[in-house]
Chain A
Amino acid sequence: MDKKSGTVLSTLRDIESLFEFGGEIAPFLEELFAFLTDLMPILARANRALASTTESMPSASDNIASAEMMAQDATNTIMDNADKISAELDALIEKTDGETQEALESVALKINDINMALQYQDITSQHLQQASQIVEAIQTRMQKLFQALQEIGEKNEAIQKILENYDAADDEGEIDTTDTIHRENAISQDEIDALFGN
């Protein structure tokens, strides 16, 4: 066999194997398309939920920051008073002896336990900050993902049709994301009293 014929045969074998590969991959592509068809409405719904979340409420991190501030204030009040009680107890302990002194020392230890338990404020705050970062990262990535899919949809009639049809569908069971506890723009007690006239 000459060199030229060998090359032609080799090329034909390559083409043949490509067809075999194509035959194997075709069902996979079909499945992938079916999967994407199912996935698009879910993503559309997720994106609308994300969009409404972003528009209708302050970010999760704002709420967490607000909660942290309130917890910090409350913790400071407890610690300030615990410190004052401890100082008064220490002064009393020096002036007393016997059973009274022991009883006062026992109370001082309990006050210290209260102080130590307030570590929860810092630890909870760290957990909340971490959760907030995760939520924000997921939100950002989902928005980017959907934006990319929308761009694909603009070029693909079938996907565009799925998205349009789904946009018209009802949204039963969506999570209420209305912010009811955020304090930044909350009405003050004075304003409430003025409204009630008391």
Chain B
Amino acid sequence: MDVSNKSVLFVEDSPTMRRIIANSLRRLGFADIIEAENGIDALEKLEGNMVNLVVTDWNMPEMNGAELVKVLRSKPEFSMVPIVMITTRGMKDDVITAMKLGVNAYVIKPFTPEILKQKLDSVL
């Protein structure tokens, strides 16, 4: 899938993971990549901006990924934007919670480039 014309916001508090995810997204062909450190930062960066995809971690300070998803899904302009959660939280209950909140795909860390591509392809 050609994603060169699609914009993505990814939210991750760990600098290491931010670099890894940014590299992965670039390798997959995304040209327009917006980075945020937590949910609050993400909401600020989304003000007045529209994206085609949101990729978010769950455990983050200030506003975590689950809270961010809840806020985004309450906004009409983001109610249909695909959201992929990438997290270390691997309990079934967590996955179900994420699904109920409106997450479209769920990736457990550590992930491979192939898994990330497969999940992004499935939601875009």
B4 within 8 A of partner (CB): no
CB <8 Å contact, A79 and B19: yes
- The range of chain B's interface size is 10 to 19
* B85 vs chain A, min Cβ distance (A): 15
Q: B-side binding surface: helix, strand, loop or mixed?
A: helix
* Stretch of B30-38, B48-56, B74-82, B108-116 on the interface side: B108-116
- Cβ-defined contact, A119 with B15, below 8 A: no
| Whole-angstrom CA separation of A53 from B19 in the bound complex | 38
List the A side residues contacting B112 at CB < 8 Å. 116
Across-interface contacts of A83 in B (CB, < 8 A): 23
A122 touches B113 (CB 8 A): no
Say yes or no: B113 contacts A119, CB within 8 Å.
no
Taken together as a complex, chains A and B put the C-alpha atoms of A126 and B24 apart, in Å, by 21
Is the CB–CB distance between B59 and A119 below 8 Å? no
Interface residues of B in 16-70 (CB under 8 A from A): 16-17, 19-20, 23-24, 27, 59
Task: Choose among B23, B24, B109 the residue that contacts A122 (Cβ–Cβ < 8 A).
Answer: B109
Tally of A-B Cβ pairs under 8 angstroms: 41
| CB within 8 Å for A72 and B15 given contacts A115-B20, A119-B20, A123-B88 | yes
B28 → chain A, closest Cβ, in Å? 11
Q: How far is the CB of A183 from chain B (nearest CB, A)?
A: 20
* A56 interfacial by beta-carbon distance below 8 Å: no
Contact A118 B16 (CB under 8 A): yes
- For B24, list chain A residues within 8 Å (CB): 116
**Contact indicator B17/A119 (Cβ below 8 Å):** yes
The answer to whether residues A116 and B14 also contact, given A123-B88, A126-B88 and a CB cut-off of 8 A, is no
Let me know if B27 and A122 touch, CB within 8 A: no
Whole-angstrom distance from the CB of B10 to the nearest CB of chain A?
A: 14
Q: How far is the CA of A145 from the CA of B88 in the complex (A)?
A: 34
How does the 8 Å CB contact mask read for A119-154 relative to B, with 1 for contact and 0 for none?
A: 111110110000000000000000000000000000
CB-defined contacts of B16 to chain A, threshold 8 Å: 72, 75-76, 79, 118-119, 121-122
Across-interface contacts of A79 in B (CB, < 8 A):
16, 19
- Contact assessment for A115 and B23 in the assembled complex, using a CB-CB cutoff below 8 Å: yes
User: Across the interface, do B15 and A118 meet the contact criterion of CB distance under 8 Å?
Assistant: no
Q: What's the least CB distance linking A104 to chain B, in Å?
A: 15
Additional A-B contact list (12), CB under 8 Å, known A79-B19, A112-B27, A122-B14 = A72-B15, A72-B16, A83-B23, A112-B113, A115-B23, A116-B20, A116-B112, A119-B16, A120-B110, A122-B16, A125-B14, A126-B88
